[in-house]
Amino acid sequence: MLGALLLLRHSKSVVPKVTGLARLMANFTQVSNPITGQSGWQERDDNYDYHLEVANAGFGDMLHDWERNQKYYKALKKTIANMREAGKKVHVLDIGTGTGILAMMALRAGADTVTACEAFMPMANCAQRILAANDASQVRLIRKRSTEIVMGVDMTQRANLLVAELLDTELIGEGAIGIYNHAHKELLTEDALCIPARANCYAQVVESSLAAQWNSLKLLANLDGDILLRPPKELQQCSGEAALHDVQLSQLPSNSFRCLTEPAEIFEFDFQRKQPRELKRQRAVKIQLQHAGNAELVFYWWQIALDDAGEVLLSCAPYWAHPELCQLQNTCQDNRRPLANLVPWRDHWMQAIYYLPQPVQLQLSDAHLWLNCCHDEYSLWFEAHKQLPTEKQVRRHTCSCDLHMTYSRSRIGQLNQGTRNKRYLSYLEQAIQPDKQQHVLLLGDGCLLGMASAALGAASVTCVEPHRFSRRLVDSVVKHNALKSVTFFEQLQQIPADQLGKLTHIFAEPYFLNSILPWDNFYFGTLILQLQQQQLSEQLQISPSGARIYALPVEFLDLHKIRAPVRNCEGFDLKLFDQMVQHSAEQALSLVEAQPLWEYPCRALTQPQQLLSVDFYNFGQEQMNHGHLKLEDAFGVCNGIALWVDWEIVKDSPKSVVSTGPSETIVPGQFVKWDMFVRQGVHFTNYTEKSAQLDWNTTFKPQLGELSFKFTLSPQHIKNA
């Protein structure tokens, strides 16, 4: 299995004029290289944007969701049979047909006519071919949004059965309310049925010091417990962002949160009723308290009844609240599968965390709490109170402190990560001596840890912060803690030469806002190269001094499905879809993508191996490395390769390494525990057989910002031969 990666991302396509004999026009893409920080033009295939859109459409994930497929099919068969038994002809409308899978199910289940609409043109064209390949050409395909369909032109009659999959993790985030309202008004009969028929939303109030780290900034203390930095008042008083944090809740460590209440139903959405669904609602729900604690956040999920009688149910609940957990335990044939992974896996519908704008401390004597639940046409938000709230309207809260609007949830959590911070602070406490004239340069966005050097007694701290909001946030921390001799610059080039000549330390975490993969933060090395063109002190210390990239062959339980071919779904041939997606992925996707691996269990198939070692004192050195990894027969199929970076704060000191990979020692054959506050890199192999060996090659050209990997898996039968 071959794979390669060229780190060129953040692209925007344009079509500038080009001279040449072969053509007058070419498609060029403006590419931002995260390692060099430079933008340039790269010639692309004329259909590059098309391929990028197809490859990222995400239809494959849904088609691997066996529970979704089976239950939609079951509901269609049941509903169509009941309608025909009642003497009705069945005219089906499928909104957002994608591959046409639901339309084909409806046709095979006995519908008299089926009309399907799909606005995404590449998918609509593919659906037309899939319909023909499955003897379903009777399906009338409309290449429009449902809200653009004109009755009498696109459709000859109203449908009396609507089947659609318009839902997301939040349920309504893709505009389901408006689409259903329009369909009932313009496209459906008065007695039309819908699949799904209704949805019920659930909330559970939770205390979690772990999850709270993704939403606020903690005090920063030294190794003796003395406070170095306090969050400013505007940050402490900020309500945060109301936007959901979508996660695989079942993968949260069970000891990392405490449910203060049982799950409570907060809203019902009746997709079948003829009256319009409200665009906005607010409801105060009284919930019995189960445990005392600090109500900090809300776990959220939904359940749909696919048929009118509510007999075919599909729940997105985490495992501890899943209504079919016992049944799934009894039917699971994989005795190695963890309890948390018995519920059907899906990545298109997950669960969500909503952070309460004001946490509420609750005692058992409070008996209950009031959860103010609100939604508009596309989103939800919550507030918690001890007493029945009297507000007539609860506004959707927004960030007022710059933290939440500037940094991702994972970055906010990283800033609070105790083990990581202790290792950096241990270095700073040893490096910064108040009785010496030490001058520190901070590189990276939001380098709050580096600001501790000012509190530790550095003579001066120079901070390069190119992003306005990030700079404003760090400056507020500086002012609130009365840190002295701190200056900010937007660019390295603005720092006076004499100030650079006085530097004794350069420090970074490192983190940059435009980084996606862990090694994108090698931009730190590019900045060091620029500084080395100046007259710097020979005694200048650089931290981190180096970085190492590691690879680990793994067997994912489920994550590999997002890039795996579908082939067949409920008896329908979808190989044409596989071919389209595969071709587009080869044209447009990097073969290593970023994923928060703590949410996606995988077993290690061997010990990790170092692919690349970078010395930031000599960052410009090009490298070409190669090697191989022996895979253990008994541990599983290598369907993915995980990659990460270890940062060496001080050279050759194992205790001063900050890893973006595993948080515990790797044991081959066992599940890997990953750092929960960064995303790792993943290469999917699409391999379905056991392999004997992984061969790899790595090429690094730092001044060009090119980092490429190539992986080759040797099948088991070659070894045995």
CA atoms within 13 A on the CB side of 327: 4
In a domain, 329, yes or no: yes
Whether residues 417 and 293 fall in one domain: no
Q: Which of 174, 234, 570, 632 is catalytic?
A: 174
Q: How far apart are CA 328 and CA 146, in angstroms?
A: 37
What integer pLDDT is reported at residue 45 of this predicted model? 66
The mean per-residue pLDDT over the stretch 500-519 comes to 95
Active site residue 174: yes
In the structure, what pLDDT confidence band is assigned to residue 13 with cuts at 50, 70 and 90?
very low
Whether residues 100 and 192 fall in one domain: yes
Look up residue 228 and give its amino acid.
L
Q: Which of 165, 207, 509, 599 is catalytic?
A: 165
In the structure, what pLDDT confidence band is assigned to residue 46 with cuts at 50, 70 and 90?
low
pLDDT tens digit sequence for 668-702:
999 999 999 999 999 999 777 888 899 999 999 99
Q: Does 158 score more than 80 pLDDT?
A: yes
Taking a C-beta distance cutoff of 8 angstroms, is the pair 264, 322 a contact? no
In a domain, 212, yes or no: yes
Scan for tokens 């269609």, then name that residue.
76
Strand pairing report for 245-247 and 159-164: unpaired
The mean per-residue pLDDT over the stretch 58-71 comes to 87
Which of 10-24, 126-140, 626-640 is the most confident on average?
126-140
Q: How far apart are CA 118 and CA 127, in angstroms?
A: 9
Whether residues 375 and 418 fall in one domain: no
Whether residues 187 and 311 fall in one domain: no
- What three-state secondary structure class fits 305? strand
The mean per-residue pLDDT over the stretch 263-273 comes to 98
What pTM was computed for the model? 0.93
Q: Does 582 score more than 90 pLDDT?
A: no
At residue 184's C-alpha, the angle toward residues 178 and 185, to 5°, is: 90
Whether residues 244 and 343 fall in one domain: yes
Whether residues 383 and 467 fall in one domain: no
In the structure, what pLDDT confidence band is assigned to residue 3 with cuts at 50, 70 and 90?
very low
Residues whose CB falls within 8 Å of the CB of residue 234, separated by 6 or more in sequence, listed in order: 400, 401, 476
The mean per-residue pLDDT over the stretch 392-406 comes to 92
Q: How far apart are CA 8 and CA 708, in angstroms?
A: 10
Whether residues 419 and 484 fall in one domain: yes
Q: How far apart are CA 75 and CA 470, in angstroms?
A: 50
Q: How far apart are CA 616 and CA 515, in angstroms?
A: 18
In the structure, what pLDDT confidence band is assigned to residue 58 with cuts at 50, 70 and 90?
low
Q: Which CATH number characterizes residue 462's domain?
A: 3.40.50.150
Whether residues 228 and 358 fall in one domain: yes
Q: How far apart are CA 4 and CA 683, in angstroms?
A: 9
Whether residues 483 and 340 fall in one domain: no
What integer pLDDT is reported at residue 653 of this predicted model? 82
- Strands of the 439-442 sheet, one edge to the other: 486-489, 460-464, 439-442, 505-507, 541-543
Domain boundary among 365, 381, 399: 399
Q: How far apart are CA 220 and CA 405, in angstroms?
A: 21
Q: How far apart are CA 432 and CA 437, in angstroms?
A: 9
Active site residue 311: no
Taking a C-beta distance cutoff of 8 angstroms, is the pair 693, 713 a contact? yes
In a domain, 473, yes or no: yes
At residue 636's C-alpha, the angle toward residues 631 and 638, to 5°, is: 65
Q: Which CATH number characterizes residue 390's domain?
A: 2.70.160.11
- What three-state secondary structure class fits 80? helix
Q: How far apart are CA 324 and CA 327, in angstroms?
A: 5
In a domain, 715, yes or no: no
Domain boundary among 198, 228, 257: 198
The mean per-residue pLDDT over the stretch 283-304 comes to 96
- What three-state secondary structure class fits 593? strand
In a domain, 50, yes or no: no
Q: How far apart are CA 682 and CA 552, in angstroms?
A: 10
Q: Structural domain of residue 378, as residue ranges?
A: 199-399
Taking a C-beta distance cutoff of 8 angstroms, is the pair 694, 713 a contact? yes
Domain boundary among 198, 225, 245: 198
Nearest CA-CA partner of 178 in 113, 116, 95, 119: 95
Burial of 168-203, coded b for 16+ CB within 10 Å and e otherwise, reads bbbbbbbebbbbbbbbbeebbbeebbbbbbbbbbbb
Strand pairing report for 113-117 and 91-95: parallel
Whether residues 250 and 185 fall in one domain: no
Structure tokens at 80: 């169509």
In a domain, 421, yes or no: yes
Strand pairing report for 609-615 and 546-556: antiparallel
Q: What's the structural domain count of the chain?
A: 3
Nearest CA-CA partner of 208 in 331, 45, 353: 353
Give the burial class of 645: count Cβ atoms within 10 A of its Cβ; 0-12 exposed, 13-18 middle, 19 or more buried: buried
In the structure, what pLDDT confidence band is assigned to residue 364 with cuts at 50, 70 and 90?
confident
Whether residues 473 and 495 fall in one domain: yes
What are the DSSP E strand ranges found in 391-518? 439-442, 460-464, 486-489, 505-507
In a domain, 121, yes or no: yes
Nearest CA-CA partner of 456 in 232, 219, 229, 218: 229
pLDDT tens digit sequence for 89-143:
999 999 999 999 999 999 999 999 999 999 999 899 999 999 999 999 999 999 9
Q: Does 57 score more than 80 pLDDT?
A: no
Strand pairing report for 602-604 and 706-715: unpaired
Nearest CA-CA partner of 195 in 167, 169, 168, 173: 167
In a domain, 553, yes or no: no
- What three-state secondary structure class fits 651? coil
What is the dihedral angle through the alpha carbons of 282, 288, 291, 293, rounded to the nearest 10 degrees? 30
Whether residues 394 and 264 fall in one domain: yes
